[in-house]
Structures are given as C-alpha cells and as structure tokens.
Amino acid sequence: MSPDTAPYDALLVVSFGGPEKPEDVVPFLENVTRGRGIPRERLEEVGEHYFLFGGRSPINDLNRAFIAAVEEDLDGAGVDLPVFWGNRNWDPTIADALRRMRDHGVRRALCLFTSAYSSYSGCRQYRENLADAVAEVGEGAPRLDRVRHYFNHPGFVEPMVDATLAALAELPAQHRNDARILYVTHSIPVAMNDASGRGGSPGQVGTAIGDRDGGGGAYVAQHLSVAAEITERVRQQTGHRFGSELVYCSRSGAPHVPWLEPDVGERITELAKDGVPAVAVVPIGFVSDHMEVVYDLDTEAKAVAESAGVAYARAATAGVDPRFVTMVRDLVLERAAAERAREAGTPEPGRASVGLLEPSWDVCPAGCCANARGHRPALCGSD
C-alpha cells in the first residue's frame, strides 16, 4: 500500500523568489522592499550584486532542482502527492500556484517553507503571504497547513555535519586544528529575534535560552542549537573540538536599527588580528546556494579572508542532498499522521529531531513571530 498522505492531496513549496534576467532585477527588489521607502538608487546599487551573476539569481533554478528531487523521492517511495511551487517576490507567485492547485482539484495542501527557522521574515511573513494569496484566488482555493520548522530534523543537520567536515578538510593541514568554525545565517533586526517564537512553551524555546516567560529569541536559540550539534558531531568524528561561533550576513536595515551581529566579514577581520589562521564558514541559515551564499559568502567574505591572510573554506548547503530531500517526505507523512491522530483522538506519531530543542509545533501559537508593523491575517497559526 502507498504511504498515506490523507488528509493532504498536494505539497506546496513556498520560497522567496528571485530575478531570472537583468531587466527583472530592480522590479524584483521593489517587490522585496515594498512599503519601506527605499530609494530606487539604493535598489540599483544592491542590484549590482545580481549583475555579477548575469542579472539572475540562482534561487529559482535551485528550487526547480529541489522540487524535481522531491518528486523523484516521493514517486520512488510510492507516495502519490503532486508538488507545486510559489514564491513571495517573483514568478511563479503563490497566488499563481494556488490557481494551478485549484484547477487540479487540490482541496487541502501542506506547505514547506524554504526557511528552516522561526522568525517573522522566515515564517509569519510567509503565512501572511499565504493568506493574501488565498484571498486573491477566492473561491476554490485549497485549505493550507504547513510542516513544522525543520532546523533540528536529522535530514537537515546531518548533511550540514558532513559539509562542515568537508570544508575543514579543504583547509591547509598545518592550520586546520586552529581553524574557527563560523556558522552563518541571515541577520535580522534584534527586535524580530526577540519576537520570534513568542507564545511558545518554555519546553520548546524558553528553557533553552533562559527566557522565563516562555517565548522570544527562538531564531538565535534554534541556530545555536544546530551549531552546537554540528560542533559536537565534528568533535566525535575528528577527535578535536574546534572553536566555533554564530555570525551573520546580509544586513539590509537602517544604521540606527539594531540588527544581529557580528557580521561574518567583520568577524573574520577580528579573528585575523587575534592570530586565527583559518576559518570554515558553514551557512546553517540557508538551505541552498542562493544569492546570500554565492555573493555574501563566496564573494565578499572570501575576499575579506584573502585580504586578511586567513585560509577560507565554505561548507555546502543542504541543497539536494538525498537526506534533505527524504526529510520532506518524512515531514509530510509525519504531519498527515498527526492530523489523522488528532481527528481520531489517538496518540500522535513520534517526531525525528536532534539537539537540545524539541521538535517545533505544527500550528504556530498566537503571537508567534509577531509583525512589528501591526497585525495582518496569516494562515497556519492560532491567530
């Protein structure tokens, strides 16, 4: 018998989107920054990053490859579940995807966000996008749920362990044991991190970061949990405990607004002054080699390291690693089984996770990852 995906009859991959030709770049950036009052001149300046790569972001091609791998995995496991794709900021849009799903007779679908962690921009904003798209499509739009955050699923963490080991192996042997592992993620405003996960139970976020009110700080806490797990597994395999820390890239806010620090390039410069001879940069905040990886890390951070005389190696992202692809199937079947158990009043299935934090929730609690600009309708949550 085929694995049971009921009550779901489709999977929707929800992503950020990116330009696919030079004339798309500024309109795409206008979509990303809509409502923030950023001058066109600044958008054109940022757009130069894309023109270094032919005016095309890698993200859409990476999503196409990922979806093809997921479809192949589902088919090979006998899971009859069509996969659709919609973006926040560029074609194919989420509303376009919902129209295709409606026309294919989809009634209820699971969503997978290409963001593994809790934050407004990485979760709730996507949930708002889903609500907007359902309202736009109107009658016949499918009901939407989402799979849980997968930052601590072994299918995500284990590829990152192997990628970290591979990056360390690229460093000069005479400097390897003195190398620093820099775990990198996208910087966000400090206030956004403080609101992330708020409303969750202490067992899932609060106790891990000493937050007595049981909420907030989930974005950083989740990354630190993943970093600690990778560092320990690297120690077990190499017999050496590498120094490591969490750093950030891609800050884009106004200078007076506090964002998470330190910046990866600034930290490399500081480490060079302290005599650190090599760094292994591990992009745990990203699931594929999109612009923040190929520009911010492979271009800018690498150039900083070269200028400072620091050996540099960058670990691969999860991408289409078979374990990461299979994780999608596991999350779909897990959520489907959980929904059936809730309806039947029977115990829910176990959930795979690694590290100190518990598996995340299926339904975001009220107030989780609040929108700092005010409440907007959002799906897949309690509010």
The stretches in the chain having pLDDT less than 70 are 1, 199-215
The answer on 294 and 232 residing in a single domain is yes
The answer on 170 and 301 residing in a single domain is yes
The answer on 183 and 127 residing in a single domain is no
| pLDDT tens-digit series, residues 85-94 | 999 999 999 9
Q: Does residue 354 sit within a domain?
A: no
Q: How confident is the model at residue 199, as a pLDDT? A: 58
Domain tally for the chain? 2
Q: Does residue 121 sit within a domain?
A: yes
The answer on 139 and 79 residing in a single domain is yes
The answer on 268 and 164 residing in a single domain is yes
CATH assignment at residue 297: 3.40.50.1400
Q: Does residue 127 sit within a domain?
A: yes
Q: How confident is the model at residue 34, as a pLDDT? A: 84
Q: Which of 295, 314, 333 is the last residue of a domain?
A: 314
The answer on 165 and 76 residing in a single domain is no
- Report residue 137 as tokens: 């499509």
Q: Does residue 383 sit within a domain?
A: no
The rounded distance, in Å, linking the Cα atoms of 56 and 308 is 30
Within 8 A by CB and 6+ apart from 44, the residues are 26
Q: Does residue 324 sit within a domain?
A: yes
Its domain, for residue 228, covers 154-314
Q: What angle do CA 195, 291, 181 make, to 5 degrees?
A: 70
Say whether 40 sits in a helix, a strand or coil.
helix
pTM score of the predicted model: 0.94
The answer on 246 and 122 residing in a single domain is no
The answer on 116 and 47 residing in a single domain is yes
Say whether 267 sits in a helix, a strand or coil.
helix
- Report residue 315 as tokens: 């670990």
Strand ranges in 325-370 using DSSP code E only, listed in sequence order: none
Q: How confident is the model at residue 254, as a pLDDT? A: 81
The answer on 248 and 106 residing in a single domain is no
The answer on 227 and 146 residing in a single domain is no
The answer on 296 and 160 residing in a single domain is yes
Q: Does residue 355 sit within a domain?
A: no
Q: Does residue 30 sit within a domain?
A: yes
**Which helix (H) or strand (E) is 123 found in, with range?**
none
The answer on 67 and 132 residing in a single domain is yes
The rounded distance, in Å, linking the Cα atoms of 195 and 308 is 36
Q: Does residue 55 sit within a domain?
A: yes
